[in-house]
Amino acid sequence: MINHSFTSFWLALSFYTRLPCPKNLDYSQLHRAAIYLPLIGYVVGGASAIVFYFAQFFWSQTVAILLALIAGILVTGAFHEDGFADVCDGFGGGYEKERILQIMKDSAIGVYGALGLGLLMALKITTLVSLPLEKLPIIFISAHSLSRLMPLFLMRFYDYARLENSKVQNAIFKPTHGELCFALICATLPLFFLPAIFWFLLLPLGFATLFLGRYFYQKIGGYTGDCLGATQQINETIFYLSVSALWKFI
């Protein structure tokens, strides 16, 4: 059981990040690795937190935040940002299911994707600048962990939208309630290092995920890998916005 867990975690790390991992992993088990997404959030958020912590001694808070965001992107290879851009292009430029899926499968980025990414990054930076400098490291870790929890709910309650064979079929699985509880516990642990009021942040993240799930279902009958990436990015941004709003009451 322990060896299986370690193997699944390494599979998750190799699939969702660009970090060095053991070779000869059994990728036939990749579908079960998604349950470790919140732990991958620790890795990505931790990288951003470390870069921010050291960068703040040399540059302004804005520059340190930008470097921290860049660190997170480098660790993941813009894995989720790419999904967000594809969703912007697909749902912005397509109306029928087949056309939306076709656009999202295109590797080229369009106007909707470019604008969406630019506005998303601008929103992250301007929101993070308004937060207390000393709390940003744990905020990074919390945001990345919790935002990676939310796609698991789409995987649990909706079906994969592409009916034809796809290279991402191995990454598809429906987590059990027990696996979701495990992921939820992992994702919420960083909240213990923030004021208790921040547990209310689970509400906007939950509502956003519910809305996205229903929206994707109505448009394409389920989700794709790009939809999961977009869900992570949107929830990460909502987390920053919600923290900024709640901090006014502390």
Which CB contacts under 8 angstroms, 24+ apart, belong to 54-59?
56/133
Query: Among residues of the chain, what percentage have pLDDT more than 90?
Result: 76
Nearest-angstrom CA–CA distance, 163 and 24: 29
Nearest-angstrom CA–CA distance, 20 and 144: 20
SS3 160: strand
Domain boundaries, the chain: 34-244
First to last CA, the chain: 43
Other CB atoms within 10 Å distance of the CB of residue 145: 28
Any idea which residue has 């906007």 for tokens? 204
Dihedral angle, C-alpha 5, 149, 169, 103, nearest 10 °: -150
Among candidate residues 193, 173, 170, the one with its CA nearest the CA of residue 183: 173
Q: Sign of the C-alpha dihedral, residues 137, 193, 46, 178?
A: negative
> Which pLDDT does position 1 carry in this prediction?
39
> Which pLDDT does position 127 carry in this prediction?
96
CA of 132: how far to CAs of 14, 128, 190, 223, in Å? Answer: 33, 9, 17, 36
Nearest-angstrom CA–CA distance, 71 and 46: 10
Q: What is the pLDDT of residues 30-85, one digit of tens each?
A: 777 889 999 999 999 999 999 999 999 999 999 999 999 999 999 999 999 999 99
Q: What is the pLDDT of residues 27-36, one digit of tens each?
A: 777 777 889 9
> Which pLDDT does position 95 carry in this prediction?
84
Nearest-angstrom CA–CA distance, 238 and 98: 29
Nearest-angstrom CA–CA distance, 37 and 228: 11
Where residue 163 falls among pLDDT bands split at 50, 70, 90? low
> Which pLDDT does position 162 carry in this prediction?
74
Query: Among residues of the chain, what percentage have pLDDT more than 70?
Result: 94
Where residue 2 falls among pLDDT bands split at 50, 70, 90? very low
Where residue 168 falls among pLDDT bands split at 50, 70, 90? low
Average pLDDT, the chain: 91
